[in-house]
Chains A and B, each alone.
Chain A
Amino acid sequence: MTDSTAQVSKSRDLDKLLLRPGHLVGPTFDPGTELRDDIQEYVKILVVGAGGLGCELLKDLALSGFKNLEVIDMDRIEVSNLNRQFLFRLQDVGKPKAEVAAMRVMERVAGVNIVPHFCRIEDKELDFYNDFNIIVLGLDSIEARSYINAVACGFLEYDSDDNPREETVKPMVDGGTEGFKGHARVIVPGRTPCFECTIWLFPPQVKFPLCTLAETPRTAAHCIEYAHLIKWDEVHSGKTFDPDEPEHMHWVYSEAVKRAELFGIPGVTYSLTQGVVKNIIPAIASTNAIISAACALETLKIVSGCSKTLSNYLTYNGVEGLHTKVTEFVKDNDCLICGPGVLIELETSVTLRKFIGLLEEHPKLLLSRASITHRGKNLYMQAPPVLEEMTRSNLDLPLFELMDKIPKDIVHVTGTTSKSDKKTSSLMKLRVIFKGVDGVADMDTAGGS
């Protein structure tokens, strides 16, 4: 008896969301114990980052009933993490964050399985990412977000009416915090704006003029950037500075201290050095907790339909009092990463030269003198002359062969468009499909079923 009450109480809060019908639920919501069990059995979630936000996310997702989690992070635990990355203890310093975080949550939450990956996100094959139903991001860098976003959007396929194929949609839930501010957002590629659609939301990094650093430093940050950007090169000729190398960071710190003493500037500390060099604003544990809770809830909503998801960007500001706001940003239909691109069907015999000609006549494009790139290979570049020369020999080859005989794929083109006599240079995404090639028809039926 006591056992069964314990069982009930453990998922009591979750049961209120998943077992009962409601007025505010999503259109596909089907409450019941089957739903609760299916979530445990079938849903696989990747948490990217095992830092301040990542620790919270793992704990929150595990407590929300998800049983199959994986976490990826390339960092090792540092002493300065311990104040907020609550899964780590003093004896863990130096160990991989992903491994310790996975272990600690598994110790505390019965039945959850967390697989850690101690590596860079770029080290994993794309298939690795495709294995997850949802990717949850707890990152502090724009580069890493941009990378995961491109990977997830890369799985997205559109049908011939430019509607996203549901089975190729890889949803992301992105959290971010900076001091007392944070955001949580839901990215459903093809439906809500992707990271790249709204990259302007991220304020540009503050960069000090080099001459200020060299000649007239006034702040601790100036001293740190001097050591990092100028002094490092002067002393270590040819060796690249690696912000993830503690030895490098310590060197910059000690040089910054010397510089600060010389100019009588107070305030250079090791953690400030890390902050300035890696562009990190000190993290606040409560902000991480709030943002993570929002992300975990959105994840549960995407999976279960127990409520409509956030639409689509929540900002939280706890600097003075508390302010939260949800903004519905709009998708950029021409986005090069998540947009459908213009569908073009071609015969396999079409040469690159003919293809470039077709783009000029295509009513949706009217793109003249196009440069063409496919999967990182520049097939033809109109300019600069040095690249034109290097790619010219491709012009009379069939595009199908230049695209490694892939029956349907994305290419990017840059060319000139004229609208009411005004010439503008534009960059576009195309979905090229070759007619009569095995595989295309199969894929279409698979999508339609």
Chain B
Amino acid sequence: MIRLFKVKEKQRELAENTNGKSSFTKQSAGEIRLHKDMRELNLPKSCSISFPNGKDDLMNFQVTIRPDEGYYRGGLFRFSFKVSPIYPHEAPKVKCNSKVYHPNIDLEGNVCLNILREDWKPVLNINTIVYGLYHLFTEPNHEDPLNSEAAAVLRDNPRMFELNVKKAMAGGHVGDNYYSRCM
């Protein structure tokens, strides 16, 4: 390609090269693919999505879940999503922004959901994750604990667990931890 390079260099010496405007505008492949996910989004009616940075930032968004069955019925839980520029090669980072008494969510908002980490596959999408999160509220499990106290109560005394969840959601202490109202 040396001849081409030589021509180019000479052109540049003569005048400012007008060619070579890139169509790339710092929009990553991940962002482009995310469009497809957004268009395909088909959320259960108990879930909603919002874009705090406006319509042009899809890489950072929030999902609100209001479970309509199970222990957490009537509660309101917010999650923030941060999507990587190499999405879907890498799963989005998801955190729970509401402090919740839950065996699979710790007090910092870390969520133990297999498809967010070890079982993520590029064929999955945002919809799958939202359903996965929703599922955590309808069927919390004590086998993958992030909050081991809550997990132990769920395993040994489901009745007590139910009461604790109600107490936390109404705003109050469970053990040493205070939970703000989220109903």
Distance in angstroms from B115 CB to nearest chain A CB is: 11
Distance in angstroms from A187 CB to nearest chain B CB is: 14
CB-based contact A427/B33 at 8 Å: yes
Give the residues in chain B near A302, CB-CB below 8 Å. 1
**Please, what's the 1-or-0 string for A134-153, where 1 marks a CB less than 8 Å from any CB in chain B?**
00000000110011001101
Please give me the residue from chain B that is nearest to A335 by CB atom: B29
**Please, what's the 1-or-0 string for B22-39, where 1 marks a CB less than 8 Å from any CB in chain A?**
111111111111011011
Q: B68-76, B140-148, B154-162, B175-183: which lies at the A interface?
A: B140-148
Interface residue ranges of B103-158 to A (CB < 8 Å): 104, 106-112, 114, 117-118, 120-122, 144-146, 148
Cross-interface CB contact of A204 among B29, B31, B120, cutoff 8 Å = B120
| Interface size counted on chain B using CB atoms at 8 A | 63
Give the residues in chain B near A196, CB-CB below 8 Å. 29
Please give me the residue from chain B that is nearest to A431 by CB atom: B23
**Please, what's the 1-or-0 string for B1-31, where 1 marks a CB less than 8 Å from any CB in chain A?**
1111111110000000011101111111111
How far, in angstroms, from A400 to B111 measured CA to CA in the complex? Answer: 44
Is B86 part of the binding interface, using a Cβ–Cβ cutoff of 8 Å? yes
Give the residues in chain A near B46, CB-CB below 8 Å. none
Most B CB atoms within 10 A — which of A168, A205, A214, A387? A387
Is A35 part of the binding interface, using a Cβ–Cβ cutoff of 8 Å? yes
Is A14 part of the binding interface, using a Cβ–Cβ cutoff of 8 Å? no
Give the residues in chain B near A373, CB-CB below 8 Å. 32, 35
Give the residues in chain B near A167, CB-CB below 8 Å. 4, 7-8, 19
Please give me the residue from chain B that is nearest to A43 by CB atom: B5
CB-based contact B26/A146 at 8 Å: no
Query: Contacts A126-B24, A155-B22, A209-B117; is A381 near B39 (CB within 8 Å)?
Result: yes
Is A362 part of the binding interface, using a Cβ–Cβ cutoff of 8 Å? no
Is A90 part of the binding interface, using a Cβ–Cβ cutoff of 8 Å? no
CB-based contact B26/A166 at 8 Å: no
Distance in angstroms from B90 CB to nearest chain A CB is: 7
Number of A-B residue pairs with CB-CB distance less than 8 Å in the complex they form:
181
Is B49 part of the binding interface, using a Cβ–Cβ cutoff of 8 Å? yes
Distance in angstroms from A232 CB to nearest chain B CB is: 9
CB-based contact A387/B55 at 8 Å: yes
Give the residues in chain A near B121, CB-CB below 8 Å. 204
Is A357 part of the binding interface, using a Cβ–Cβ cutoff of 8 Å? no
**Please, what's the 1-or-0 string for B63-86, where 1 marks a CB less than 8 Å from any CB in chain A?**
000000000000000000000111
Cross-interface CB contact of A214 among B3, B22, B29, B145, cutoff 8 Å = B145
How far, in angstroms, from A377 to B57 measured CA to CA in the complex? Answer: 8
Is A281 part of the binding interface, using a Cβ–Cβ cutoff of 8 Å? no
Please give me the residue from chain A that is nearest to B31 by CB atom: A376
Give the residues in chain B near A446, CB-CB below 8 Å. 18-19
Interface residue ranges of A370-406 to B (CB < 8 Å): 371, 373, 375-378, 381-384, 386-387, 390-391
Give the residues in chain B near A427, CB-CB below 8 Å. 32-33, 35-36
How far, in angstroms, from A210 to B120 measured CA to CA in the complex? Answer: 13
How far, in angstroms, from A227 to B24 measured CA to CA in the complex? Answer: 37
CB-based contact B89/A202 at 8 Å: yes
How far, in angstroms, from A371 to B154 measured CA to CA in the complex? Answer: 45
Is A345 part of the binding interface, using a Cβ–Cβ cutoff of 8 Å? no
Query: Contacts A38-B2, A168-B19; is A390 near B54 (CB within 8 Å)?
Result: yes
Most B CB atoms within 10 A — which of A214, A305, A390, A426? A214
CB-based contact A153/B55 at 8 Å: no
Please give me the residue from chain A that is nearest to B111 by CB atom: A210
CB-based contact B41/A381 at 8 Å: no
Please give me the residue from chain B that is nearest to A209 by CB atom: B118
Please give me the residue from chain A that is nearest to B122 by CB atom: A200
How far, in angstroms, from A376 to B51 measured CA to CA in the complex? Answer: 15
CB-based contact B110/A151 at 8 Å: no
CB-based contact B110/A230 at 8 Å: yes
How far, in angstroms, from A377 to B27 measured CA to CA in the complex? Answer: 9
Is A42 part of the binding interface, using a Cβ–Cβ cutoff of 8 Å? yes
Please give me the residue from chain A that is nearest to B20 by CB atom: A130
How far, in angstroms, from A373 to B25 measured CA to CA in the complex? Answer: 12
Give the residues in chain B near A103, CB-CB below 8 Å. none
Give the residues in chain A near B2, CB-CB below 8 Å. 35, 38-39, 42-43, 303-305
How far, in angstroms, from A384 to B51 measured CA to CA in the complex? Answer: 11
Give the residues in chain A near B146, CB-CB below 8 Å. 210-211, 214-215
Cross-interface CB contact of A412 among B3, B9, B32, cutoff 8 Å = B32
Is A154 part of the binding interface, using a Cβ–Cβ cutoff of 8 Å? yes
Cross-interface CB contact of A414 among B9, B36, B84, cutoff 8 Å = B36
A204-B89, A381-B39 known, 12 other contacts, Cβ within 8 Å: A30-B3, A38-B6, A146-B30, A150-B29, A207-B117, A210-B111, A214-B106, A234-B107, A383-B38, A390-B55, A415-B39, A425-B40
A and B contact pairs by CB, cutoff 8 A, 24 listed = A42-B6, A122-B26, A133-B5, A146-B28, A146-B29, A207-B91, A207-B118, A209-B112, A210-B146, A211-B144, A211-B145, A215-B145, A229-B110, A230-B108, A237-B108, A381-B39, A383-B40, A386-B50, A387-B38, A391-B55, A412-B35, A414-B35, A415-B39, A443-B19
